[in-house]
Structure 1
Amino acid sequence: MKKGSFLALMLAAVLAITTGCASTASPEPQAPANSGNAGETALPKEGGSLTIASESEPGNLNPHIWPTSSDTFVTHMIFDSLVIPDKELKMVGSLAEKWDVSKDGKTYTFHLQKNVKWHDGTPFTAKDVAFTFASLAKPEYDAGGYWRVSPVVGAEEVHEGKAQEVSGIKVIDDNTIEFTTTDKFAPFISGLFIGIVPEHLLKDVSPKEWAKHAFNRNPVGTGPFKFVKWETGQYIELAANKDYFKGAPKLDKIVARFGDTNTMLAAFINKEVDLAPVPIAEIPSVQSLDYADLKLSNDLSMYYIGFNALNEHFQDKKVRQALAHAVDKQSIVGSILGEYGKVSFGVFPSNHWSHNPDVPQYTYDPAKAEALLQEAGYAKNGKGIYEKNGKELVFTLEVPTGKTEREKTAALLKQNFEKIGVKMELRALDFPTLVTKLLPKNADGTQRKVTANDYQAYILGFGVEADPDEYRSYFGSKYMPPNGYNFVSYADPQVDQLLEQQVAEVDLEKRKNLIWEVGKKLAEDEIWIPLYEQQAPYVANKRLGGFDPDFRGPTFNAKDWSVNQ
C-alpha cells in the first residue's frame, strides 16, 4: 500500500463509524470534539484539556541533558528560562524581569521576577539560577551544556578541576544575580535560553547522575504546566500551574502522546488527539476535514546528512563532496515536499542573517561525483561498487523513524548513491536510540568520545534556536562528546578560529561576516550535506484556540492555548 493512500483510507473508515471516540491512551477520556465550524466563532473558555501528538518520545525531561526537539516539546511547558527569544529572535525577559550590562560589556546583572515558585511550592531565587549554570561548569557534568557557561570568569577553572566555585557568578540577593565574562561575548544572553532547575532538589546530586536521577522522569519546574506522570511509550500528562507568575494557563491539562506520524494522524482523525504533525503528502486530505485547521511553521532549520569523520571513507573531503554531487536535491524536494520545501546548500537557514547566499554549491552531477571518487583513489570493482585498497565504499545511514518526509528522503538518497556505484544501507531506529549512537556512553553511564564504530552516517534536521553561536558546539573541535555536540568529529583550525572570533565581535555586521565565512568553509567541506529546508505542518482541531507554532517549537506558547467547548 502506498503511504499516500493512508489518510484516504482512514477517512473512509472514520465516516463508517461514529466520530468523536475517546482516546485509549490518554489517562481519561476527552469530551467529543466539534464536528463543524462552530468552534471558529465560539468564545474561548477557561479550563478543559487537550491531547497533543509528538513524533518521538522524549529521552530526558531535565533540560540540561542533551536536549532534543522531542524533549523540548514537553520541557518548554514545564521549565522557564531567564530569557526567551521573541519571534524576531530578540531575547526578552522571562524569569528575568530586566537586566543591565556594564560599560565594558562584560558584567550582566539580572533582576529576577518576584514571587515565583517551583511547582512544589518552594520559592524560586537567584540561588537556583547560580546553581543551574555553575553545575554546567563542573567537570562531572557531561551532557552538552558547558558552552553556555564557558564565557564566565572562573568557569574554565572549575571545568578543569582547578577550582570549586565559578567566581564570575555572584548572587547579590534573592532577586538579583550577576554574571561576569572574561571578554566581551556577543551571544552570551542567548546562551541563557535554557530551563532553570531547582537547587533544593538537585544540590546533593552530582551532575553526572542527573540522567539517572528520579528528577529526570519526575521534573519540577516553574513553568505554566506541572508534571503529573509519564507512561513509557504512551504519553506524558501535565496539569496547569495555577500559581504561574505570568498568569495561570487557560487549560487545566495537556496530555502529550507519542507515536509515528501516521499513527498520530490516525488518532487525530479519530478525534483522540487535538493536535498532530502532518506528513506533507497528506496536507490536501487534511484540509478537507471540516473540524481541522492546518498550521504551518517556518522553522529556522534545514535537513542534512551527517558523516562520522572518523570513518576511513569519510575522512577524505573529496568523498563527501562526491556524495554531495550525487544527491538530486531538486527531485527530492519536488517529489516529497513540493511547495513546502526548498533545496539547501548551506548549514545556516536561508531566512536567517547567518545564512551566506554565496557558498560552494554541489549541484546534482553524477559524472562529477564519480570523477571526485576517482581522484580520491577509488575505482569500481567487478560488482560496480567503488572501492579503495580492497574496501568497498559501503556505509549505513541511520534513519530515525517518525517523520515520513525524512524516511522517504532516505530511500531516494539510497537510489542516488547506488547510481554512481556507492552502496548505502538504511537502518531505521527510533530517535532515542540514534542519540545513543551520536552521544555514546560508557558502561557506567558516563559520556564518552565517539569512535568510528559507533555509526557511519545519519539524517537529521538542525537550525537556529536562539543564536547561530549554537553551531559552535556542533563544529568546534573542542566540543566533541562528551564536551558538546560535535559528534561528527569535525576539526578545522580555520573554522575553530572563526567561531571564536564571532563570539567576541559585538558589531552585528562584522559578526555576520565571520559567521558567513564559517558557512562557506562548512559548505566546502560537506561534513554535513545540506538537503532541504521544510515548512513544518501541523493539524489542529478547531476546538483548540491560540495555537501558533514557529521556530521555537509547537508547544512554546501552550500557556495561551484554550478550548472553545
Structure 2
Amino acid sequence: MNKLMSRRTAGALALALLATGAASAAPAGEAGPPQRGGQLVVALRAEPVLLNPLVDQGSGAHSVRPVLDSLVWDNGDGSYDPWLAERWEVSPDARVYTFHLRRDVKFHDGTPFNAEAVKANFDFIANPANKSTGSTAKLKPVARVLDAYTLEVTLGTPESSFLTLIAAPYFGIVSKQQLEQDPKSLASKLIGTGPFRFDRWVKGQSLTYVRNDDYNWAPPKFHRGTAYVDSVRYVFLPEDQTRYNALLTGEAHVVDYVPPEHAKTVKAGKYQSSEFLLPGVGYSLHLNTRRPPFDQKEVRLALLTGLDRAGIASAASFGAYPVQEYLATTTPDFNKKLKNRIRHDPQRAGELLDAAGWTQRDAQGYRTRDGKRLSTVSPYADNDQLAQRTLEQVQVDARKLGIEIQLQPVTASELAQRLYNGNYGILGSFQSEATGMQLWRLYGSDNISDGSTVGSNASFLRIPELDAVLAKARASGKAADRARHYAEAQEILPNFAPSVPLYSRARLVAAQPNVHGVSWDKAWPQPYLFDAWIGR
C-alpha cells in the first residue's frame, strides 16, 4: 500500500487501486479468480439531495455512477477511452465534437440508446428551466443528429476539456423516454444504461442498485460482460466515526472518505486501501465580493496572506491533507513553476487592513471602521465535520488579524440555496475535476449566476485579464498550450484573492480483506464498482 503523502510532497499522486491493476494489502494473485454474487455495501459520507446529476452536480454525482454510463472514459492523464461512444472527432477550435455511438446498447427501460437519446440529454441541460448546475450547461451546447448513431455537438464557447466534463457521472446518459415523459421522476429514480439498475431509495438510510444482466459495454480496461456482484447498496453515514465503525464491524464492505484521523491505522492494518490526492480546486474559502467587507480587495488579500493556511490544513485534517495553491498539484494543468506563491505574512495582512481603513479596535479586539466591526458570516453544512473543524481554525486565525467570522451551521439544502442567492460572506467548498478548466468554473465571469443559469463563481468577482487567459486555455487544441495559459491564470488569481485556497483532499477508500476489484473513476474522482467482487 502507498504511504500517506506528507504535506510537503503533495505533488506525488498516492494512488493504489484495490486488488486490480495496482498494489493492495495482498498481492492480486492471492485473491484468485473473481467470484460472482452477493451485495456490496458501501458507506458514503453524504446522501444526495436528489438523484438527477444533470441538475445536481454535487451530491448526486457521488452515488449514481452504477446506473449511468458516459460517452467516454477519462483515464485521468489527458487520454480517453471509448464507452458509449466508439470514437469521436474534435474541431481545431475545440467547439465542435462529433460522436459515433455504439449500436448494441439499450436503456434499462428497454428503449434504444442512439443519437436522439444523447441529444435529449444535451437538450435537457441546455434548457434554462431545468437549472442545471453542471459545467456542460454553461457551454450552451447545441446537439444535432447526423444519423441514428452519430451526433454533432457545437458549443457556445470553445472548451478543450469538454471530454473530461462529459466523462463525469454528472453527465451520465439518462433514458430519453424518462427525460421527456416523466422528468420529475429523475429526482428519485434514474433510468440509464449502466451495469446496475435502480432498485430503491430509502431516504435517510440507503440507495440500492441491482445488476443489469444485459450489460456488455464497459470501457476497455474493465472485464467483459455483467458486473460480478448481484447488487450495490449505498448506506449514508455522515458521522465520520460511525462510518469508520462500519468498517471495523464489517457492516460495510467499502468505506469512502475514511476520516483522516484514522488514515494511518487503516493503512497499517488488515484492510485493503486506496488513496487518491484529488485534482482540481481543493477546499477553498470563496469570498463574496458583492457585499462588505470583501468588496475591498485589501481585505481579501489580508485574509489570503494573514491566515496560516498550512497550519489550518494540518489541524483540520490531522496532518493528512496538503496545503495547496489555486489548483491541486495532481491536476494535469497545475503550474509546476508557480512563481506567485501565497506566503503567510500576518504583518503584511495588518498593513493591508490599515490601508483599507480598518485601523481601530473594539473592546473584543476586532478591527472597526467608522464604528462598524470588521465582520462576516460563513455558513456550512451541519453534517460536515471536516468543514466545521476547518472553519473553526479559520475563525481563530482571523480573530488574530482582527476579523470576526461568525459560523452558521445549516442544512445541506439551505447551503445550496445560499450559493444561489449569495447569502454569505465566506463560502467553503470543494471541487474535484482532472482539468484546469475548474479555474474557469469557479472564477470565470461567465460563471456568475445571471438569472437564466446557475453559476459556480461564488465570489461574484469579474477579472477581465483572467477571463482573457482562461478563454485562450479553453480554446487551445494542444495540451501544452492549454497548460501554459492555465499556468498564467494561477499567477493572476493571488493578485485579486477571490478565494483563499486551503487544502487538497487525500481521498482514502478502505475495503474488507475479501473485497477486490474496486477502482477509480477519475473524471469526477470516486470509487468505481463494476469490477468489484466479494471473496468467500
Name the CA distance, whole Å, in 2 between partners of 1:92 and 1:506: 18
Alignment correspondent of 1:379: 359
1:173 aligns with 2:147: yes
Larger displacement relative to structure 2 (73-82 or 396-405): 396-405
Alignment correspondent of 1:415: 396
1:460 aligns with 2:440: no
Name the CA distance, whole Å, in 2 between partners of 1:254 and 1:75: 11
Alignment correspondent of 2:39: 49
Letter of the 2:440 counterpart: R
CA offsets per residue over residues 212-254 of structure 1, 9 Å max, x none? x122101111111111111111111111111113221111111
1:199 aligns with 2:168: no
CA contact (8 A) 1:297 1:551 kept: no
Give SS of 1:84's match.
strand
How far did 1:474 drift? 2.1
Name the CA distance, whole Å, in 2 between partners of 1:461 and 1:421: 26
How far did 1:84 drift? 2.3
1:324 aligns with 2:304: yes
CA contact (8 A) 2:332 2:436 kept: no
Letter of the 1:177 counterpart: L
1:239 aligns with 2:210: yes
RMSD across aligned C-alpha pairs, in angstroms?
2.7
Q: 1:318-397 maps to which residues of 2 (within 5 A)? A: 318-337=298-317, 340-344=320-324, 346-356=325-335, 357-383=337-363, 384-397=365-378
How far did 1:42 drift? 5.3
Alignment correspondent of 1:253: 231
CA offsets per residue over residues 533-563 of structure 1, 9 Å max, x none? 2311122111211123464456552111110
CA contact (8 A) 1:52 1:274 kept: yes
Distance 1:51 1:553, change over 3 A: farther
Letter of the 2:352 counterpart: L
Count of residue pairs the alignment pairs up: 493
Alignment correspondent of 1:502: 473
Distance 1:552 1:151, change over 3 A: closer
CA contact (8 A) 2:379 2:409 kept: yes
Distance 1:535 1:435, change over 3 A: same
Distance 1:139 1:374, change over 3 A: same
Distance 1:419 1:39, change over 3 A: farther
Alignment correspondent of 2:405: 424
Name the CA distance, whole Å, in 1 between partners of 2:444 and 2:90: 28
Give SS of 2:341's match.
coil
Give SS of 1:521's match.
helix
Name the CA distance, whole Å, in 2 between partners of 1:104 and 1:112: 22
CA offsets per residue over residues 252-291 of structure 1, 9 Å max, x none? 111111122222112222211111121111123334653x
CA contact (8 A) 1:53 1:257 kept: yes
| TM-score for both structures, normalised by structure 2 | 0.85
Name the CA distance, whole Å, in 1 between partners of 2:226 and 2:273: 27
Distance 1:479 1:503, change over 3 A: same
Give SS of 1:313's match.
coil
Alignment correspondent of 2:133: 144
How far did 1:109 drift? 2.7
Give SS of 2:303's match.
helix
1:132 aligns with 2:101: no
Name the CA distance, whole Å, in 2 between partners of 1:485 and 1:355: 20
Give SS of 2:187's match.
helix
Letter of the 1:360 counterpart: N
Letter of the 1:178 counterpart: E
How far did 1:509 drift? 2.5
CA contact (8 A) 1:56 1:431 kept: no
Distance 1:551 1:431, change over 3 A: farther
Name the CA distance, whole Å, in 2 between partners of 1:349 and 1:37: 31
Give SS of 1:529's match.
strand
How far did 1:320 drift? 1.0
Give SS of 1:347's match.
coil
Larger displacement relative to structure 2 (88-97 or 179-188): 179-188
1:283 aligns with 2:263: yes
| TM-score for both structures, normalised by structure 1 | 0.81
Give SS of 2:213's match.
coil
Alignment correspondent of 1:60: 50
In structure 1, stretches of 5+ residues that fail to align are 1-35, 153-165, 440-449
Distance 1:417 1:135, change over 3 A: same
Name the CA distance, whole Å, in 2 between partners of 1:105 and 1:469: 13
How far did 1:298 drift? 2.2
CA contact (8 A) 1:82 1:192 kept: yes
Q: Percent identity?
A: 25
Letter of the 2:278 counterpart: D
CA offsets per residue over residues 376-410 of structure 1, 9 Å max, x none? 11123332111223321122222335554433222
How far did 1:186 drift? 2.6
Distance 1:495 1:215, change over 3 A: same
CA contact (8 A) 2:119 2:144 kept: yes
Alignment correspondent of 1:488: 459
How far did 1:151 drift? 6.2
Name the CA distance, whole Å, in 1 between partners of 2:466 and 2:28: 56
Name the CA distance, whole Å, in 1 between partners of 2:76 and 2:135: 26
Alignment correspondent of 2:80: 91
CA offsets per residue over residues 86-130 of structure 1, 9 Å max, x none? 132322221101123467876433211122111112111110111
Q: 1:508-527 maps to which residues of 2 (within 5 A)? A: 508-527=479-498
Letter of the 2:54 counterpart: H
CA contact (8 A) 1:341 1:532 kept: yes
Give SS of 1:468's match.
coil
CA offsets per residue over residues 36-90 of structure 1, 9 Å max, x none? 999964543111111111111112211211311x322212221111112113232
Name the CA distance, whole Å, in 1 between partners of 2:361 and 2:524: 48
Name the CA distance, whole Å, in 2 between partners of 1:335 and 1:118: 47
Letter of the 2:370 counterpart: N
> Which residue of 264, 276, 291 maps to 1:311?
291
Name the CA distance, whole Å, in 1 between partners of 2:334 and 2:122: 30
CA contact (8 A) 2:381 2:415 kept: yes
Q: Which structure's CA Rg is the greater one? A: 1
Distance 1:412 1:104, change over 3 A: closer
